[in-house]
Chains A and B, each alone.
Chain A
Amino acid sequence: MIEGHILDQLADYVLGSLETSERGDIEQHLAHCDICRTEWLALQETAGQLALAAPSINPPPRLKKAVLRRVTPWADRLKARRPAWLTPMQGWFQSLSPAWAAVSLVLILALAAGNLLMWRQVRQLSNPAVAQMRTVALVGEQTQPQATGVLVLTASGRNGTLVVDKLTMLDAQHQYQLWLIADGQRTSGGVFSVDNEGYGAMVIESPRPLNTYQNFGITIEPVGGSPGPTGERVLSGHL
């Protein structure tokens, strides 16, 4: 079982570069940690786009035919199992006048729209944490390129959590400070320290919804924080 978060192992997990023995722990952790799971999904989308880096080649036309040939027996078997009453119903619909057909179409579309709405609601309810949260990746600046971080924002954008990893542990006179940036104005989102592994987390303090800020940065400041950034920037990201 892994304590804390596993943000620095997710890239390896997504790319399948971990040894088999390491994968089990990661999977266990992802099953119950929303923060890491949200980050994992985002990295998976990025990795998926690497497929587009392969030179694009037209498949031979015979390939599509071969695919469809392989699935046709399944489709035929399923059709054969459909209830017999469906066939006369099909004929009845075909015999409707154009006016009734139009009315039927409107009804069907209304039902479909209702279903779609319900389906969306069910989908959101089935996994609200992952479906509605937003994340902002924070990347290490030149001074601390090994550092990583992520901001996890709630669906409303009003609240959020910061998780950082691999930041240098500071002396007792300094702390890290999060800056929320909108239209060039910097507002403090809170100060925090990291442990000897560079890991730290905090709930973000913000006078307004977090999704109204465009950029986020973390600087080194005197302990307790500063009214505006004075030290070097170590992590940054944008929404």
Chain B
Amino acid sequence: MSASDEALLQQIARAETQALSELYDRYGRLIYSLAVRVVGEGETAEEITQDVFVQVWRNAHTYQPALGRPVTWLVSIARHRAIDVLRRRRVRADGYLETAEIDGFPLKIDEDEEPEPQTERDSSRERINQALSRLPAEQRIVLLLAYFEGLSHSELAERLNEPLGTVKTRLRLGLQKLRQLLESDDPGL
């Protein structure tokens, strides 16, 4: 029987590299995919993924189960790291970086990167995409912009050319509705 994610983090806290290797096998693709989605290219995404797993290695002893599942913790570290990179780029570019298209988001991918084969995580992926597709388009767009580009309220309002209050409402309603859909038995129905 394979170890739980929590058990792997405990082993990592004891400096067992095999546990980190197994954690990478479980979530390396997810973290890398998220990083590519945020920064838009593979080379920086590789650096981010490395940093995330090194951070997990160094801080596994600080993980608190009461604050969420290990995968949520990993994803949160990865998203913050990737958005930091994105923000620094924006500052350098003195304006918006042309990132992926939001609703449908095609991406530029290195030639040696192949699509993922079918895995058990596909059902979770299908579930979130199905739930997202059931949100009103304006809520979905603002939610994806906030999550994948880390835009603040005022940045979202400027990007979408909408009043600040409208953006705030869409963001709040979008996440709440998404939660309800994911908690229901079938977000596709």
Within the complex, the shortest CB–CB distance from B31 to chain A, in Å, comes to 8
Within the complex, the shortest CB–CB distance from B88 to chain A, in Å, comes to 15
In contact, A56 and B116 (Cβ under 8 angstroms): yes
Interface range on chain B: under 10, 10 to 19, 20 to 34, or 35 or more? 35 or more
Question: Quick check: is B59 within 8 A (CB to CB) of the other chain?
Answer: no
In contact, B182 and A15 (Cβ under 8 angstroms): no
Inside 8 A of B34's CB, which chain A residues have their CB?
A: 51, 54
Inside 8 A of B24's CB, which chain A residues have their CB?
A: 64, 67-68
* Complex Cα spacing A52 to B148, Å: 11
* Complex Cα spacing A54 to B40, Å: 11
Inside 8 A of B143's CB, which chain A residues have their CB?
A: 15, 50
Inside 8 A of B151's CB, which chain A residues have their CB?
A: 17
Within the complex, the shortest CB–CB distance from B113 to chain A, in Å, comes to 5
* Complex Cα spacing A63 to B125, Å: 23
Looking at A57, A63, A72, which has the most chain B CB atoms within 10 Å of its CB?
A: A57
In contact, A14 and B175 (Cβ under 8 angstroms): yes
A-contact 0/1 string along B74-96, CB 8 Å cutoff: 01101110010000000000000
Main secondary structure of the interface of A (DSSP, over half): helix
Selecting from A90-98, A124-132, A185-193, A222-230, the interface stretch reads: A124-132
* Complex Cα spacing A130 to B28, Å: 29
Question: Quick check: is A55 within 8 A (CB to CB) of the other chain?
Answer: yes
Q: Which residue of B lies closest to A120 (CB)?
A: B65
Main secondary structure of the interface of B (DSSP, over half): helix
Q: A19-B153, A42-B179, A139-B180 are in contact. Are A59 and B50 (CB under 8 A)?
A: no
Looking at B37, B121, B129, B179, which has the most chain A CB atoms within 10 Å of its CB?
A: B179
B-contact 0/1 string along A42-82, CB 8 Å cutoff: 11111111111111111110011011101110110011000
Q: A12-B171, A67-B20, A67-B54 are in contact. Are A19 and B128 (CB under 8 A)?
A: no
Q: A67-B24, A70-B54 are in contact. Are A51 and B68 (CB under 8 A)?
A: no
Question: Quick check: is A16 within 8 A (CB to CB) of the other chain?
Answer: yes
In contact, A16 and B178 (Cβ under 8 angstroms): no
Inside 8 A of A126's CB, which chain B residues have their CB?
A: 66
* Complex Cα spacing A123 to B156, Å: 40
Partner of B128, one of A53, A75, A123: A53
In contact, A139 and B176 (Cβ under 8 angstroms): yes
Looking at A41, A56, A60, A72, which has the most chain B CB atoms within 10 Å of its CB?
A: A56
Question: Can you sample 11 A-B contacts with CB below 8 Å?
Answer: A11-B172, A11-B176, A19-B154, A46-B179, A48-B76, A50-B148, A51-B75, A54-B105, A71-B54, A137-B176, A238-B184
* A-B pairs with lowest CB-CB distance, top 9: A54-B37, A48-B72, A59-B32, A56-B116, A11-B175, A46-B179, A78-B15, A127-B66, A11-B172
Binding site for B on A (CB under 8 A): 8, 11-12, 14-19, 41-60, 63-64, 66-68, 70-72, 74-75, 78-79, 123, 126-127, 130-131, 137, 139-140, 145-146, 148, 237-238
Other 11 A-B pairs with CB < 8 A, given A48-B69, A57-B42: A12-B153, A12-B168, A48-B68, A55-B105, A56-B30, A57-B32, A60-B46, A63-B32, A139-B176, A139-B177, A146-B173
